[in-house]
Amino acid sequence: MNSTTLTINTPQKMLWALHSSSLSSEPNAAFVKEWYEQVHLPSTTPEQNFELWSTHDRQRLTLYQIGATHTLITKHAAYYQNRLQVNTNVLQRLRSDWRPEKLGSWVEIHPEGVNTGWYLPGLISFNQLCQVLEKSVFKQKIIHRWANMFVHSTCIGYGESWSTTFIRQVDLMANATQSISSQYHKALHLCELLEVPTFPSFLLEIFQTHEVHQLGVSLWMTDESVLKFGLRVFKPSIKLLMALCLLASFTDEDEDFLAQIHSMSARVQWVEVQQTTDGLKTEVSYQL
């Protein structure tokens, strides 16, 4: 008997994930299709990658593209200006000032609607970060104070949303030469400074049991509040991924959903346990 191997392309994987969640709707599907069509480069171009991020409960899906700035900036700017009707001056300015090699674009789907934005990965000095946080003086002072206390920590990315509720995305990385216990408690110190609820007391034990060596801190902030404070582990083991999902109340349906995405993906990029405005969540990033 002849067998046929079906190949699922990137936009099909994205739409499958959307339609397999409670976020499925025609407007959301149309938004995803348009975003992909507007930002993607021809398939023969090697300078781009797509990721799919999902919370453990399938209540937030994020589609993310990253590639070389010089090949993507024109397409991204055209999409933001022509389709979303937003001013891209800040993106153009930071591109000139920071000269990032990579540029990211993302679209986030959640029960309240759709959000989209941009992201600049790469090492960013805390002085540069504080300059773009200048309108949020309180958080600027907190992050600057934390950076001065833990001088070997780094900022590894910054982004912003185009939504009416302006969101800043800040990613920090702890010093890998220090113990995971030290990294964890330094992250908790920032958590306290930002007045974010603490994490379950046995989370550190989970990190130690699964031999985590380095933690990232991922922040989503408005000028008024912290929407998400995440502790991120890059290239996690499947056992760690499952342990963190179970920590955030994982159902059989949720597990089946992530298993399907896992089977379609190239690799797991990171897993993150988060304190959010909707409570404790675990989010997983898959490279498509």
pLDDT tens digit sequence for 60-81: 999 999 999 988 998 999 999 9
Amino acid 178: pLDDT: 92
Q: Can you say how many angstroms the Cα of residue 131 is from the centroid of all Cα atoms in its chain?
A: 22
Beta strand ranges found along the chain (DSSP E): 48-55, 61-68, 102-110, 113-124, 154-161, 168-173, 216-221, 226-234, 267-276, 279-287
> Is the confidence at residue 172, as pLDDT, over 90?
yes
Domain residue ranges of the chain, discontinuous segments joined by +: 10-287
Q: Give the pTM.
A: 0.92
User: What pLDDT, on a 0 to 100 scale, did the predictor assign at position 3?
Assistant: 43
- What distance in Å separates the CA atoms of residue 206 and residue 194, rounded to the nearest whole number? 24
Residue 275 to residue 277: CA distance in whole angstroms: 7
CA distances from 100 to 161, 173, 184, 234 (A): 18, 18, 29, 21
pLDDT (tens digit per residue) in 183-202:
999 999 999 999 999 999 99
Reported confidence tier of residue 144, pLDDT bands at 50, 70, 90: confident
By mean pLDDT, which of 90-99, 227-236, 260-269 is the weakest?
90-99
Lowest mean pLDDT among 127-136, 182-191, 251-260, 275-284: 127-136
